[in-house]
C-alpha cells in the first residue's frame, strides 16, 4: 500500500458516502445499561466501512459515541481529556456554548427532547437500508445483545422526501470534496476558492488546511492498544483518533406551515413572488439551481460531473452587493465561497500590498474569514411527511405532525468548523456587514445586547435600495443535539475492550 493511501476498511462509510440509495434510515440514541453486553455488541457490530463495494450494499450501520459513552465503556479519563474540548464539554455543557450556537430562547437546551442533562445519550447508532429492508436490518443489527446492553432514549425515524428538505428545496447538493489522495498543497495563501479540502479537515490523524495534525489523544502503546494505527506525526504513539472524526447532530424542527404562510403574507399571496422570496432566503432556486450564473472557470473540487457543475460552479465574486444572491441568504452564510483574500490577487507586489492591508476596494473587504478553514460535511436526514408549499398554506389541523431535519455534520475540529459556521456566519446579526438579521431560515430571532432585532431579511436590488422584509418569525427550532465521536473501526474495537 502506498504511504499516503487511506485504509478505507478502517473508516466508517459515512465519511465517504451519504448512503443516498438507502432511503430508509433510523437513528437510535441509547445509554449503556450493561457495560459487558455493550462491549460485546460493539465488538461484533457489522460496521459499514468506506471501502467502495460492487454492488453497492443495501444496508449500513454506523456507530458514534459521546464523552459519556466513552466514560461508561471505561476509556481512561486521561485519554478522554485529550479529545477536542468541545466534545469533552458537550454541546450543552456550557452556557457560553449555547449562546454562541444560538441555543437560547425557544432553542434553549432545557426545552430539548434529548441531548440535555439525563437525556444525553452514550451512543448514536445509525441504521440505513434500501427501501423495505430497514425492519429486518434493524433486527439483525440489534442481535440478541441489544436489549441487555442498551436503554433506548430515542428511536428517531427519518423519511425520504426525494431530493428535498421539508421546506421543499432541493438539498444536500453542495459538499466539500475530500482530498483523499492528499494531493492538495495548503502552503501559502490560497488565492482561489477551492471546494477540494484537506483530508485532515474531515478525518483525524491527517494534515488539515493549516498543514497540521489536529490535536487529539495519542496513547502509549500497550497491549489493548496494539491494533491501533501509529500516529503519522508521533511514531512512538498510537493514534486512537486516526480515521475517526467528530459527528455533530442536531434535531431541527421545521415549521413548514409558518415558513410558507409568512412568505405568502409578505408577498400578498402572489405565488410567483412567494416562491421567489423563499428562494432569495435560501440562496438557490427550489430546484437547486444557483441564483448566480455559473463561472467560466472551473473550481477545484467541483465536477467533473455536469450536475455538480450546474449546482456548484459559482462564487459570489462580482455580486458583492448581493443583488443576485442576497448577502444574508442561507447558503451564502453557510459557505461564502471566498478565498484567502476578498478580491483577486495577482502577482507578488499585489500580494504584498494586500497582506499589509492596502488596496481595499470595498468597506466589506476582509470582514469575512476564509472559507476553507470552516467547511463541514453534511450527512443529515429529513423526518416527517412531505408537506407541499400549497398544502402548507392551509391552517394546521389538530395534531399536525412534526417536520424537520436531523442535521448531521462531520468535521475534525468542532470549534473551528461546525461552531464557527453556526455562530460567526449563520447566527451572527453582523454577518458580512448586515444589520438586524440572522439566518433567514434557521436564525433564532433572539436579541443581542445593543441589537434588539435579528428578524429582518434584506433583498438587495439593482436600483440601490434593498427590499427589507421584517418581522421574520422563527422557522426552525432545535429539539435536541449532541457532539459525538465517529471512531475508526479499529478504535471502536478498542473501545469494546479497553476497560475490560
Partner 1 sequence: MRFHAIDGSKPKMTPQSSFMIIAPLDVRRTDELRSLLVSMNSAPGNANPKNEIIPFGRLEDLHFARLVILEDQTLDDITTAYGLPRRSYPTYLAFLGDFDGDTNRFLKELVAQAGNGLRQIFSFCEDFQPDCDLLSWMKNHEQRPATMYVNWAGRTMRQIREEDALRNGLEACLQNNASVFVGKSPREIRDTLKEFVRSETIAGRLRLTMPGQMPLTWRIRNLLHLVGVPLVLLFFTPLFILYLPFFAFQLRRREKRDMEIAPRVDSVHAEKLADLEDRDVTNQFSALGSLKPGPFRRWTLVFFLWLVQYTTRHIYNRGHLARVPSIHFARWVFLDNKKRLIFCSNYDGSLESYMDDFINKVAFGLNLVFSNGIGYPKTDWLVFHGAKDEQKFKYFIRRHELPTEVWYNGHPGLTNFDLQRNRRVRQGIERQSMTDAEIREWLELF
Binding site for partner 1 (CB under 8 A): 81-82, 85, 88-89, 94-97, 99-100, 210, 212, 214-215, 321, 340, 354-357, 360, 363-367, 369-370, 373, 413, 415-416, 419-420, 423-424, 428-430, 433, 435, 448-451, 460, 463-468, 470
Q: Which is nearer to partner 1, 98 or 158 (CB)?
A: 98
CB of 465 vs partner 1, minimal distance in Å: 5
CB of 362 vs partner 1, minimal distance in Å: 10
Q: Which is nearer to partner 1, 135 or 234 (CB)?
A: 234
Q: Which helix (DSSP H) or strand (DSSP E) does residue 219 occupy?
A: strand 218-219
Q: Are 237 and 205 in contact (CB under 8 A)?
A: no
DSSP structural state of residue 493: H
Q: Which is nearer to partner 1, 232 or 365 (CB)?
A: 365
Q: Which is nearer to partner 1, 164 or 448 (CB)?
A: 448
C-alpha span between 492 and 43 (Å, rounded): 7
Closest to 493 (Cα-Cα) out of 88, 114, 9, 162: 9
Q: Which is nearer to partner 1, 264 or 432 (CB)?
A: 432
C-alpha span between 153 and 199 (Å, rounded): 34
CB of 219 vs partner 1, minimal distance in Å: 15
Q: How many CB atoms lie within 10 A of CB 271?
A: 12
Q: Which is nearer to partner 1, 89 or 474 (CB)?
A: 89
CB of 325 vs partner 1, minimal distance in Å: 15
Q: Which is nearer to partner 1, 78 or 118 (CB)?
A: 78
CB of 427 vs partner 1, minimal distance in Å: 10
CB of 496 vs partner 1, minimal distance in Å: 27
C-alpha span between 166 and 364 (Å, rounded): 34
C-alpha span between 439 and 329 (Å, rounded): 7
The residues facing 124 across adjacent strands are 29, 64
CB of 101 vs partner 1, minimal distance in Å: 10
CB of 66 vs partner 1, minimal distance in Å: 17
C-alpha span between 282 and 265 (Å, rounded): 18
Residue 217 three-state SS: coil
Residue 124 three-state SS: strand
Q: Which is nearer to partner 1, 86 or 264 (CB)?
A: 86
CB of 217 vs partner 1, minimal distance in Å: 10
Q: Which residue has the cell 470534496?
A: 177
Distances (CA, A) of 481 to 117, 119, 247, 248, 273: 12, 10, 11, 8, 35
Report the sign of the C-alpha dihedral through residues 102, 108, 113, 114, in that order.
Answer: positive
Q: Which is nearer to partner 1, 8 or 373 (CB)?
A: 373
Q: Which is nearer to partner 1, 188 or 395 (CB)?
A: 188
User: Could you tell me how many residues make up the chain?
Assistant: 500
Q: Which helix (DSSP H) or strand (DSSP E) does residue 77 occupy?
A: helix 77-80
CB of 276 vs partner 1, minimal distance in Å: 16
Q: Are 243 and 10 in contact (CB under 8 A)?
A: yes
Q: Which is nearer to partner 1, 310 or 366 (CB)?
A: 366
- Residue 156 corresponds to which cell in the numbers above? 428517531
CB of 44 vs partner 1, minimal distance in Å: 35
Closest to 48 (Cα-Cα) out of 84, 15, 1, 97: 15
Residue 96 three-state SS: helix
Distances (CA, A) of 105 to 32, 102, 285, 474: 31, 8, 31, 11
Q: Which residue has the cell 473501545?
A: 495
Amino acid at each position: 500500500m502506498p504511504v499516503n493511501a487511506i485504509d478505507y476498511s478502517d473508516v466508517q462509510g459515512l465519511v465517504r458516502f451519504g448512503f443516498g440509495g438507502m432511503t430508509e434510515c433510523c437513528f437510535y440514541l441509547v445509554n449503556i445499561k450493561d457495560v459487558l453486553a455493550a462491549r460485546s455488541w460493539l465488538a461484533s457490530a457489522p460496521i459499514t466501512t468506506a471501502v467502495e463495494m460492487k454492488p453497492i450494499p443495501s444496508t449500513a450501520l454506523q456507530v458514534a459515541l459521546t464523552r459519556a459513552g466513552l466514560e461508561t465503556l471505561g476509556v481512561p479519563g486521561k485519554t478522554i481529556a485529550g479529545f477536542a474540548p468541545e466534545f469533552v464539554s458537550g454541546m450543552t455543557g456550557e452556557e457560553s456554548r449555547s449562546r454562541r450556537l444560538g441555543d437560547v430562547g425557544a432553542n434553549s437546551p432545557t426545552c430539548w427532547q434529548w441531548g440535555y442533562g439525563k437525556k444525553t445519550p452514550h451512543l448514536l447508532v445509525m441504521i440505513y437500508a434500501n427501501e423495505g429492508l430497514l425492519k429486518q436490518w434493524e433486527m439483525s443489527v440489534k442481535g440478541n445483545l441489544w436489549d441487555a446492553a442498551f436503554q433506548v432514549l430515542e428511536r428517531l425515524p427519518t423519511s425520504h422526501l426525494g431530493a428535498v428538505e421539508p421546506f421543499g428545496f432541493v438539498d444536500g447538493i453542495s459538499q466539500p470534496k475530500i482530498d483523499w489522495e492528499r494531493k492538495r498543497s495548503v502552503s501559502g495563501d490560497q488565492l482561489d476558492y477551492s471546494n477540494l479540502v484537506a483530508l485532515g479537515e474531515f478525518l483525524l490523524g491527517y494534515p488539515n488546511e493549516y498543514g497540521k495534525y489536529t490535536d487529539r489523544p495519542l496513547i502509549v502503546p500497550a497491549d489493548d492498544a496494539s491494533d491501533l494505527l501509529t500516529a503519522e506525526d508521533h511514531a512512538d504513539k498510537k493514534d486512537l483518533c486516526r480515521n475517526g472524526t467528530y459527528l455533530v447532530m442536531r434535531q431541527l424542527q421545521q415549521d413548514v406551515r409558518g415558513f410558507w404562510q409568512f412568505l405568502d403574507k409578505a408577498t400578498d399571496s402572489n405565488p410567483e413572488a412567494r416562491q421567489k422570496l423563499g428562494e432569495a432566503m435560501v440562496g438557490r432556486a427550489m430546484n437547486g439551481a444557483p441564483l448566480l450564473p455559473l463561472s467560466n472557470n472551473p473550481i477545484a473540487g467541483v465536477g467533473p460531473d455536469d450536475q455538480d457543475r450546474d449546482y456548484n460552479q459559482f462564487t459570489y465574486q462580482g455580486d458583492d452587493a448581493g443583488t443576485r444572491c442576497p448577502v444574508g441568504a442561507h447558503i451564502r452564510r453557510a459557505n461564502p465561497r471566498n478565498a484567502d483574500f476578498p478580491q483577486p490577487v495577482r502577482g507578488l507586489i499585489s500580494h504584498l500590498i494586500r497582506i499589509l492591508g492596502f488596496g481595499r476596494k470595498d468597506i466589506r473587504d476582509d470582514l469575512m474569514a476564509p472559507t476553507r478553514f470552516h467547511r463541514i460535511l453534511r450527512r443529515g436526514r429529513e423526518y416527517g411527511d412531505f408537506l407541499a408549499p400549497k398544502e402548507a398554506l392551509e391552517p394546521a389541523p389538530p395534531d399536525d405532525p412534526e417536520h424537520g431535519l436531523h442535521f448531521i455534520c462531520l468535521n475534525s475540529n468542532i470549534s473551528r468548523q461546525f461552531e464557527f459556521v453556526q455562530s460567526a456566519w449563520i447566527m451572527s446579526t453582523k454577518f458580512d456587514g448586515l444589520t438586524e438579521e440572522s439566518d433567514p431560515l434557521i436564525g433564532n430571532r433572539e436579541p443581542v445586547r445593543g441589537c434588539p432585532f435579528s428578524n429582518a431579511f434584506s433583498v438587495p436590488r439593482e436600483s440601490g435600495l434593498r427590499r427589507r422584509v421584517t418581522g421574520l418569525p422563527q422557522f426552525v427550532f432545535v429539539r435536541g443535539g449532541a457532539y459525538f465521536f465517529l471512531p475508526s473501526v479499529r478504535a471502536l474495537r478498542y473501545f469494546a475492550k479497553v476497560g475490560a
